[in-house]
Amino acid sequence: MWPLVRQARNLGRYRQIAQVLTRYGFGFFLDQIGLASLLSLPRRVLHRTPQIELTGPVRLRLALTELGPTFIKLGQALSTRPDLVSPDYIVELSKLQDAVPPFPTATAIALIEQELGRPLAALFSQFDQPPLAAASLGQVHTATLHDGTAVVVKIQRPGIEATVNTDLAILTDLAALAQERTALGEQYDLVDLAWEFSAALRGELDYRREGRNAERFRANFADFSCAHIPFIYWDFTTSRVLTMERLVGIKINDIAQIDTAGLDRKLLARHATEMILQEIFSDGFFHADPHPGNLFAMPNNVIGAVDFGQVVILDRDLTRNLLLLLFAISERDVSGMLRSMQRLDILTPRELTPSIRRDASRFIDRFVDQSLEELSARETINELFALVQRHRLRMPAPLALLLKALVMMEGIGVLLDAQLDVFKIARPYTEQALRELAAPERLAREVLAEGRELGEIALNLPRQVSTTLQRINDGEISVTAHIPEGHQIAAALMQASIRLSLALVLASFVLGIALLGVAIALGLGGGTLALFGTLAGAAVLFVGVALIISFLRRGLG
């Protein structure tokens, strides 16, 4: 339903968005989703050929830039989603930059004093007036604390929170309309995607969250001497002001300055690559925006990183399934690749057609005659994106951001060292991660968890079947069938439940015996793990016995 109250409140912004989209040749979209009639926009204007003779992707990038911070961020998010937009749009939207004119320094100072509750002179011995950088959400000034510490102070752009909230409300409305009236809405949950984007962008508006992210990265890289994460000064930080250690270095893509400083480009490339590999395969917590403006080459070939507003937390299953996908590709295992894509929610069993199997085989065949040294992570990932796009599959947002970050990091690495072999550097990380996945302790924990879940399902099944049949008998659930005798339906359902329950009993026994076997094997050397396996096996066997007793009591045996 169209939110009339919100439409009236934000009518001016709706019209502004409609005018910009129409001027750049996207009025047809407004007509398609029904916004044109709601805003009383004439169709002849909406379908007018744009005066700007540019490609569609370029026109979209210019339109989003003109619409401001929220839409710039939207374009950047879309550039990571090959399942939603075509490759030519991804290339163009990747060019979107956050750089915007700075706001007055006096305004920045007033906001700092308001947030921190003290005059600027009491906070800093020096505060540099011209901003070091300005972006869509805020700008950065260099300063010095009274103890002589060099810092940077990030100040949120005045009024940006209200602007972003208004635009996010409108985007949610547009997503709801597109959900109902476009082909894309039939394939994707656009409202849910809009919600995800809104949550991520609102998270970036809280600088305390960014500070906590920086501290987590700093802890993760405490033993990695080739990475430097700035220290956060919490006494000078709020939700709208962030004060951190100032890094002195050279932008990672300034090759001339790096060479002049006598730094080793090959080592820098390796260290930058190792950073993101550790984030993905060891920490499960990675920097989702590792563009050259956020990375610095520092003395002793150390990589400095800043701007931790965009991060992604990888859960255990996603990391495991990504590893299995990479392993299947390296082993040229088409079936394994497709199974991994299903586990990653890229592919569903219904979409596993001969066509996609053929394309997956071609994807793998591309690597048959190439050594790892000849492969490019960028080309490999871009081909995977093309496969997803061609078959209109889905790409989970965390996975899309991860793959995009890998592409960006390889681009930086190759810029520093044209001979960089990303796969060779990655091999120890992936092998270690695979060893951890296959570790007996981890397997035992997972088997126990699966056994417990299986036991819960089996114990609850008879009661659930009985409840369902009772609801059918009471008329709460109606069953339409061509068999006139209702008792035949009930008998068939009961027989099916018996068979399924007995299968679960058998599975419980098999699982319990397997666990006891593992425990016995491990018990040869003694230790806590053997005891753990024994208890797990005994627990699952107990579930099987309990099920049999349950069946006998109910007369189902």
So which residues are the catalytic ones? 289
- Tokens of residue 496, six digits: 């099916």
Per DSSP, the residues of 452-516 read: HHHHHHHHHHHHHHHHHHHHHHHTSS----S-S-HHHHHHHHHHHHHHHHHHHHHHHHHHHHHHH
Q: Are 124 and 29 in contact (CB under 8 A)?
A: no
Q: Name residue 153's beta-bridge partners.
A: 141, 243
- DSSP assignment string, 77-99: HHTT-TTTS-HHHHHHHTT----
The span from the CA of 59 to the CA of 47, in Å, is: 15
Nearest alpha carbon to residue 402 among 321, 334, 343, 339: 321
* CB of 269 closer than 8 Å to CB of 425: no
Q: 533 is written with which tokens?
A: 């396996």
DSSP one-letter string for 400-468 = HHHHHHHHHHHHHHHHH-TT--HHHHHHHHHHHHHHHHT-HHHHHHHHHHHHHHHHHHHHHHHHHHHHH
* Cβ within 8 Å of residue 195, ≥6 positions away: 172
Look at residue 392 and give its three-state secondary structure. coil
Give the pairing of strands 302-305 and 285-287. Answer: unpaired
With H, G, I as helix, E, B as strand and everything else as coil, classify residue 116. helix
CA-to-CA dists, residue 351 to 1, 184, 388, 397, angstroms: 32, 17, 11, 20
Long-range pairs for 499-502: beta carbons < 8 A, 24 or more residues apart: 500/461, 501/458, 501/461, 501/462, 501/547, 501/551, 501/556, 502/551
Q: How many CB atoms lie within 10 A of CB 482?
A: 4
Neighbour-count burial of 262, counting CB atoms closer than 10 A to its CB (0-12 exposed, 13-18 middle, 19+ buried): exposed
Report whether 507 contacts 455 (CB < 8 A).
Answer: no
Token representation of residue 42: 């004439």
**Residue 535 tokens, joined:** 């208890």
**Based on C-alpha coordinates, what's the Rg of the chain?**
29
